[in-house]
Amino acid sequence: MKSILLCTLLLFCMVPKSHAQNDMTWRIGLSKSVITPETPMWMAGYAARTTPATGVYHDLWAKVMVLEDQSGKQLVLVTSDILGFPKKMSDRIRRKLLETYGWNPSQIILNGSHTHSGPVLEEALYDIYPLDTEQLALVKSYSQWLEQRVLTLVEEAHQNLRPAKLSSANGVARFQVNRRENVERDIASKTALAGPIDHAVPVTKIEDQAGNLLAILFGYACHPTVLDHYSWSGDYPGFAQIELEKLYPGTMAMFFQGASGDQNPIPRRTLPLAKQYGKTLAAAVERVLEEEMQPMAATAKTAYAEIDLPFAPAPSQTELTRMANEQSGYLKRWAERMLTEQTQGIQHPTSYPYPIQVWQLGHQLIFNLGGEVTVAYANALKQTFGQDSFVMAYSNDVMGYIPSEIILEEGGYEGYSSQMVYGLPSTWEKGIEERILTAIGQLAEEIDLRPLHLPTEGN
């Protein structure tokens, strides 16, 4: 009788441990590919460039991670050294993944690092670049190739799923500067910087069952605008990934861009600075990897929505004529195109389908937004859902800047003229920040996330 009781107790004790081990075991598939154009093409990000690319500082990459939780639910994250995925390309990729794997948009993230040293893509920022017929053909051909390359990489990753453990934590790097609140030429003499920032470096460590490092997912909220040269590169995020893959041979480093719409690396404009910032970011990641990180249970919850963001009334024909006569560059081209389309009776949209997304991987919350999101959104989400939350931007669709309400009121590049860069018919309507944050809160409720119970003043 005693022996039966002892065996029963042993079995009882063993079951929770086995379940706990299974609860922490993901399956993961990884793949990557060089995506550097082989033909000289126009580079994305700056209107001031006058020729196509002439060299290569380092290769551009697309990288894919497919995750499967203990229930069999699968997710895919694509990171890439591009300015961002245009809506039509993103929609086609996600539609194909739905057809092939049954994945809905909530299970897919397509993130661009927003490097300004990558190629122009089709149907993105055409008013900004003086593209001739030959360059337009190259852009079309490359964009079609890139789209297929991403799909192939997803297939390769999906075919190579293996058991893995995930853990997460946040580090810190401090080369990000609020570019609206600080004049670049005055940075060296300033003793304190102004404006909201987010110096967090979110890190996810992916290991095999034996504890060998397989991949590193990390992010930062800072424009990759160190370089404005004519050589392909991933800018500082590219150098950070190179550095991490040197530190951890055989590991795939994946960078995602954060809410960096109003954040720049300063000082900038030299190759040594791009390398320095890359090493600084890699060092922040390295520190996190060597400290204790929180294991992520193998459970995935996802939610996705596209909300209508209304545009403000478009400029009148009189205002557009004035802009066409007085402005130059992309503003002139935008005003002339708008005038032509008004004359032709073309009706412009009054709102835009803006993508928002929430992932919960184990304990880790990941908020994902489209467009060039300004840092106020990241800070608001972290205040509401916890400072350890990860915030991605420039995902699934980069249609323009997403200013905070204050920036929209103040105007300037992020709040006004950048919308012309992207070819939008007008600026955003007032109330944009509340609309987006309210919608994200509703999306979080779909997967049973609740805001933190923050103490009231005086408690």
Q: How confident is the model at residue 1 (pLDDT cuts 50, 70, 90)?
A: very low
pLDDT, position 453 = 55
Q: Is 223 annotated as a binding residue?
A: yes
Of 188, 149, 332, nearest to 268 by C-alpha is: 188
| Per-residue model confidence as pLDDT tens digits over 258-267 | 999 999 999 9
Work out the average pLDDT over 141-146.
98
Residues 6+ apart with CB under 8 A from 6: none
Percent of the chain exceeding pLDDT 90 equals 82
Q: Which amino acid is at 420?
A: M
pLDDT, position 110 = 98
Lowest mean pLDDT among 151-155, 287-291, 345-349: 345-349
Query: In this model, does residue 146 exceed pLDDT 50?
Result: yes
Lowest mean pLDDT among 54-63, 72-81, 120-129, 148-157: 120-129
Checking phi first, is residue 211 left (phi over 0); if not, alpha (psi -120 to 50) or beta? left
pLDDT, position 125 = 81
3-state secondary structure of 114: coil
The DSSP symbol for 439 reads H
Query: In this model, does residue 456 exceed pLDDT 80?
Result: no
Per the DSSP assignment, residues forming a β-bridge with 208 are: none
Place of tokens 């060039």: 372
φ/ψ (deg, to 5) at 216: -130, 125
pLDDT, position 13 = 43
| Per-residue model confidence as pLDDT tens digits over 164-203 | 999 999 999 999 999 999 988 888 888 888 999 999 999 9
Strand 200-207 vs strand 108-112: parallel, antiparallel, or unpaired?
unpaired
Query: In this model, does residue 14 exceed pLDDT 50?
Result: no
How far is residue 381 from each of residues 190, 199, 222, 434, measured CA to CA in Å?
29, 15, 17, 12
| Per-residue model confidence as pLDDT tens digits over 384-439 | 999 999 999 999 999 999 999 999 999 999 999 898 889 899 999 999 999 999 99
Residues 6+ apart with CB under 8 A from 270: 226
Residues 110, 406 contacting (CB under 8 angstroms): no
| Per-residue model confidence as pLDDT tens digits over 307-353 | 999 999 988 899 999 999 998 888 888 899 999 998 898 989 999 99
Burial of 305 (0-12, 13-18, 19+ CB in 10 A): middle
Residues 6+ apart with CB under 8 A from 223: 114, 116, 179, 260, 261, 263, 264, 265
Query: In this model, does residue 96 exceed pLDDT 80?
Result: yes
| Per-residue model confidence as pLDDT tens digits over 20-36 | 556 899 999 999 999 99
Query: In this model, does residue 455 exceed pLDDT 50?
Result: no
Work out the average pLDDT over 224-248.
98
pLDDT, position 288 = 98
Percent of the chain exceeding pLDDT 70 equals 93
Q: How far apart are CA 244 and CA 453, in angstroms?
A: 38
Work out the average pLDDT over 204-220.
97
pLDDT, position 254 = 99
pLDDT, position 185 = 87
Query: In this model, does residue 117 exceed pLDDT 90?
Result: yes
pLDDT, position 22 = 64
Place of tokens 């961002």: 84
Q: How many CB atoms lie within 10 A of CB 111?
A: 26
Query: In this model, does residue 233 exceed pLDDT 80?
Result: yes
Q: Is 114 annotated as a binding residue?
A: yes
Query: In this model, does residue 277 exceed pLDDT 90?
Result: yes
pLDDT, position 197 = 96
Work out the average pLDDT over 77-99.
98
Question: What is the value of pTM for the model shown?
Answer: 0.93
Mean pLDDT across the chain: 92
Of 400, 416, 298, 302, nearest to 351 by C-alpha is: 400
pLDDT, position 12 = 39
- Each as own residue / partner, the long-range contacts of residues 347-350 (CB below 8 Å, 24 or more positions apart, any chain) are 348/311, 348/314, 348/425, 348/426, 349/311, 349/425, 350/310, 350/311
